[in-house]
Structures are given as C-alpha cells and as structure tokens.
Amino acid sequence: MLRTRMPSFGSFCKALPRRLHTALCGLTAAALLSTPSLAARSVQVQVDGELLSTRAYVEQGVTYVPLRSLLDAFGGWEIGWDAEAAKAVATSASARLAADPAENTITLDETEYAARVTVENGRTYVPLRLVTEMLGGRAKWDAYLDGAAVTSPDADYDASDLYWLSRIISAESGAEPMEGQIAVGNVVMNRVTSSEFPNTIPGVIFDRVDAVQFEPVENGTVYRSPSARSMEAAKRVLDGENTIGSAMYFYAPALSQGIWINANRMYYRTIGCHRFYL
C-alpha cells in the first residue's frame, strides 16, 4: 500500500536536507566501491534485475565475482579452464577473455589488464567492475541492495531500475491484472519526474522524507523476488506504457481508508483493488 505524503509546512526548508541526503548517499556508495576494507565480506550482485546465486565479496574496496557466473548472466559466452596454461578462458562470437591467477592479469583479445585473479573452491574470481566495463556493460554500487547492480552490455534496461521497479510492482500489486501492475509502476515513474520526489526509481521507492511512502518497504516484501508478470510489467513501464496518466497516489480501500488522499487529491480511476489519484 502506498503511504500518504502529508503536506509539509517546512517543505522549502526540507529541500536542502534532501540534497544533502542525496549527496551523502552518493559519497557512501563511492566509498564502498573505492576505499579499503579491513576484511572481505559477502555481498549480493544482480545482473539485469536477477540476483546471482553464487557468492560475491568486497575486499579492499573491490567487488569480486565468479567469472562464470557473470558471463553466464551476460549470455553468449563459453567458459572453461585451460589446465595447461592454468587460466580461465572464455570465448564469445567476437571476443576471447582469459583470467590468469598466476600473473594476476585479465586479457581481452590482445589487451592485457593488471587485476587480482583468485581461484576459490573451484571458481575463478575477477574484479566485477573491471570485467563488466571491459565488455561494454555498467556496474554500480546499490546502497539499497547493499551490493552491486550490473547492466549487461546488450541490456535494454538499467539493472537497478528494473530490479527495484519489478519488486515494488510485485509487492504492491502482484495479484492485480497487468493493467493494474503497470499503473503502480506508472505512479513510481510519475514521482520520478516530479520535483516533489526523488529523481530516481530506487529513490522514490525508498523515500522517507515524509515517512515511508510504500508499505512493502516497511514490511520487507519489497525485497522478495518478483513474479514473471511483475517483471514484464516493469519492462513495459520502462518502455513507456502508461495506464494511469499522471497519477501519483493510490491506495487499496480494503486495507486503508485513504483519508488524506480522499481529502486532498483528485480521484482519477480504479483498477482492480486500487484507487488512483492525481
């Protein structure tokens, strides 16, 4: 259920803290990616909205991931171990990549990069950001995931956007018809483009400036894996499909009286169990 954003007398004064909050989040994320840590710790990695099932870890500010897991998620790669050369070798239709733990190098075609490569429990671990960017993808730290979000080289959607949008749609409206699921995603996107809310999808979903905005953030259901239909709905929203116009609020009458919304926002339409307001 979408929480009501109450009107704030001090909204102008709160503008500066919001900007400071965003800046501090950015600094924290950069620190996690670039500053040394005292010991390795396990973290989650998701590629194109799907979590990797194998362990990844951060050590001395670098995220390491099994090479096979990463390239399998990208698709189109054959990966094996060259016993004679003692290195992992991966090939695609157009490229060859080799990770050498003895030399601590990663070679893409004819270009060699210095990088820590380790073999642990039969898995070859490589620096996530380096390999992702070598192949034309993008990797960034996601503070809400406490892990890395990886967008593969040929992806149609930003990994972090798809990951969180599909999860909030699933948590809020997983049992609704596709039209209703798309509508919930539209509310998120409408807030992203509004000056009243954060300007990113995760920022809107986890917005706490005037209290938690979405019930699944508070009860933890936003962290559950989304259904296939909710993943489809998220992609359709990101492709621009809209079923609810410019609505930025909704609630389910069966779960909430929606007193503030009814008194302060204009009713637009009902889809499934949700009433939507402009």
In DSSP terms, 215 is beta-bridged to: none
Examine residue 115 and state whether it is found in any structural domain, yes or no: yes
Examine residue 198 and state whether it is found in any structural domain, yes or no: yes
Closest among 54, 108, 119 to 83, alpha carbons compared: 119
Domain count along the chain: 2
Q: pLDDT per residue over 186-198, tens digit each? A: 999 999 999 999 9
Same domain, 19 and 60: no
The single residue listed with the structure tokens 């962290």 is: 223
Same domain, 166 and 269: yes
Same domain, 131 and 182: no
CATH of the domain at 71: 3.30.457.10
For residue 133, the model assigns a pLDDT of 98
For residue 72, the model assigns a pLDDT of 98
| Residue 221 burial (C-beta neighbours within 10 Å; 0-12, 13-18, 19+) | middle
Examine residue 89 and state whether it is found in any structural domain, yes or no: yes
Same domain, 228 and 162: yes
Among residues 123, 151, 179, the one where a domain terminates is 151
Rg (CA), the chain: 22
Examine residue 6 and state whether it is found in any structural domain, yes or no: no
CATH of the domain at 262: 1.10.10.2520
Examine residue 30 and state whether it is found in any structural domain, yes or no: no
For residue 5, the model assigns a pLDDT of 54
Examine residue 50 and state whether it is found in any structural domain, yes or no: yes
Range of the domain at 19: 11-25+157-277
Same domain, 147 and 233: no
Q: How far apart are CA 119 and CA 101, in angstroms?
A: 7
Among residues 103, 121, 151, the one where a domain terminates is 151
Under the banding of pLDDT at 50, 70 and 90, the label for residue 3 is low
Same domain, 140 and 164: no
The proportion of the chain whose per-residue pLDDT surpasses 70, expressed as a percent, equals: 86
In DSSP terms, 90 is beta-bridged to: 79, 97
